[in-house]
Amino acid sequence: MAQDNDAKAAAGFSAAAAIAAALALLRKPVAGAQTVIPEEVIQLLIALAASSEDLVAKTQEILEALGQGGQGWPANTDSITGLRVAINPAAGVQLPDIAVPSGMSLVIKAWALNPAWLWVAPTLGEAGNINQAFYLMPSEVVTYQVENASQIYIAGMTAGGVATAGCFACITVEQRRRGGGV
């Protein structure tokens, strides 16, 4: 409990120190003059020190209102989605419409038995261009923090740029069930 109070006091004093430093920078001292802390800064520091409990509580309240709960990372999900997508070698393919929760990643793995590389890109045109696509050899994995899997396009090509049938991409993403969180 004492550690919690020490942490709260430290947070209050840190904020006060930051404000005091900012105000001090605004008032450039004349060369050779003695630096004096203005009375309003002293009063501000005293007020912050006296209300450090309220400062920490208000900060926590704001974080909770924003849905973060003050933990600093996204909440765990309660489900996953995973599937294998057949890649049309001649036309490429857009990944299906699957939402990726904020803070989570879409995982794309080239199927282990693919006869060619997968070319991954944000547009269909780029997925068919070796100079613009990110390639995955069989069993390689890449992750993207996108809002939806449908933002990704994949083509199946050999290293020489020849379209090859029989390629698959395996994708997975963590999910939140309806009404299940942020």
CATH number, domain with residue 155: 2.60.120
Q: Cα–Cα distance between 44 and 50 in angstroms, integer?
A: 10
Q: Is residue 146 part of a domain?
A: yes
- Same domain, yes or no: 107 and 49: no
User: Whole-prediction pTM value?
Assistant: 0.57
Secondary structure of residue 45 in the 3-state scheme:
helix
pLDDT at residue 138 in the model: 93
- Over the stretch 23-61, which tens digit does the pLDDT of each residue have? 555 555 555 555 566 677 667 766 666 665 666 666 666
- Domain that includes residue 54, residue range: 2-65
8 Å CB contact between 169 and 109: yes
CA distances from 153 to 93, 100, 108, 119, 168 (A): 6, 16, 11, 8, 13
Query: Considering the chain, what percentage of its residues have pLDDT values greater than 90?
Result: 29
Four-residue CA torsion sign, 89, 90, 96, 99: positive
CA distance between the termini of the chain: 31
- Same domain, yes or no: 120 and 58: no
How many domains does the structure of the chain reveal? 2
Confidence band of 11 (pLDDT split at 50, 70, 90): low
- Over the stretch 136-161, which tens digit does the pLDDT of each residue have? 999 999 999 999 999 999 988 766 66
The last residue of a domain, from among 11, 38, 65: 65
- Same domain, yes or no: 156 and 84: yes
- Same domain, yes or no: 53 and 94: no
- Over the stretch 76-110, which tens digit does the pLDDT of each residue have? 777 888 999 998 776 789 999 998 988 889 999 99
3-state helix, strand, coil in the chain (%, to 5): 30, 25, 45
Is 182 a residue whose pLDDT tops 50?
no
> Is 52 exposed, middle or buried (CB count within 10 Å of its CB: 0-12, 13-18, 19+)?
buried
